[in-house]
Amino acid sequence: MLGQWALRHPTVLVLPCLVVVLASILSPWSSSARGLSSLTKIKGFSTLLKPSVSPPSIMPKAPVYFFSHGGPDVQYNKTHPVYPVLQSIGKEITQKVKPKAVVVFSAHWQAEPDEIQLNNAEETDLIYDFYGFPPEYYRATFPSKGSPQLASHILSLLSSAGIKARGVKRGLDHGVFSGFNVAFDPTSNPLRCPLVQVSLFNSEDANAHYALGRAVSSLRDDNVVIIGTGMTVHNLRDMRFLMRNSEPLPYAVSFDEALKEAVEADPAVRQERMAAVAKRPDARHAHPWMDHLMPVYVAAGAAGDDPGQQIWTMHEACFAWGQYRFGQVPA
């Protein structure tokens, strides 16, 4: 009776046997499994074992930069040692990073003590925010396009971080266009992406500017390059007494070296170390007003957990020209 029932339901007996056979074959210790493994190496066969959809590649975050931009003469003084340095950094950005956009924080735009402003115009002119220079300096140009959409997104990020901000129509100041004319020469290395300028706070609060950078750091996930522009040492007051003497004053060396050590510290303690640098005894000599120092705090904040590196520096009279990169450059 059992035999007749089995004949009418053969799968009941066949399936368990098949399971046992497959388990034996696919056991990692069996010779059959080792043979199957070797088959995957045969051309064409391995593709059958791959998933039909490849896992998405992880794009690295865009690096963050700090430019010591110099004065409005930097784009004309091609013999100054910083000129080829800025050119090299600019080519690194356009040719290796290839950003979707650039967001810049300049020392020459301080909005309000508790408010950030940003340029939300698509067409942007220049602001010649300097005096006493040759006439041709006031005819300088720098072609760029803004992005109202990106500006709106930045406003949203700032709002989410509890930072008061609003959009305005404003030109690019020389903290942007002078150095950018070297780094992104419109003829030989043009910046072919939107450019949005964001202000600093009108304050010397290092931690507030660090938090400002942190608030926009997610832009890097979309390959947006964030750049702060200023000077690592900037004392125009003492320049009047030095005439043409370029020998560095002691504070130009000591403060620049202390800033380097803080920026290159472990990111877990970097904010604390950098805040301490702004309180050093030589800080007021290096920066009688700290507008040119605050952009490096923005850059460091935007870097998040990525390490900082001094690319190059130079000590000249009452100035220092530290250039920094945070994060990795794509291979």
The pLDDT, as a whole number, for residue 23 is: 43
- The type of residue at 331 is A
Average pLDDT by consecutive 10-residue portion of the chain (331 residues)? Answer: 44 42 42 38 34 56 98 97 98 98 98 98 96 96 98 98 98 98 98 98 98 98 98 94 87 98 98 98 98 98 98 98 97 86
Residues constituting the chain: 331
The pLDDT, as a whole number, for residue 78 is: 97
Alpha carbons 180 and 133: distance in angstroms, whole number: 19
The pLDDT, as a whole number, for residue 276 is: 98
Q: In what order do the strands lie in the sheet with 319-320?
A: 233-234, 319-320, 315-316
With contact defined as beta carbons under 8 Å apart, do 299 and 226 qualify?
Answer: yes
The pLDDT, as a whole number, for residue 185 is: 98
With contact defined as beta carbons under 8 Å apart, do 252 and 286 qualify?
Answer: yes
* Closest of 190, 72, 102 to residue 142, by C-alpha: 190
In CATH, 64-326 is 1.20.1250.20: no
The pLDDT, as a whole number, for residue 57 is: 54
Tally of CB atoms within 10 A around 250: 10
Phi then psi dihedrals of residue 95, to 5 deg: -95, -25
> Crossing angle of helices 148-160/206-215, nearest 10°?
120
Q: Global pTM?
A: 0.83
Tokens read off for 309: 């590196």
Q: Sort strands 233-234 and 101-110 into parallel, antiparallel or unpaired.
A: unpaired
Domain boundaries, the chain: 2-49, 64-326
Non-local CB neighbours of 7 within 8 Å, separated by 6+ positions: none
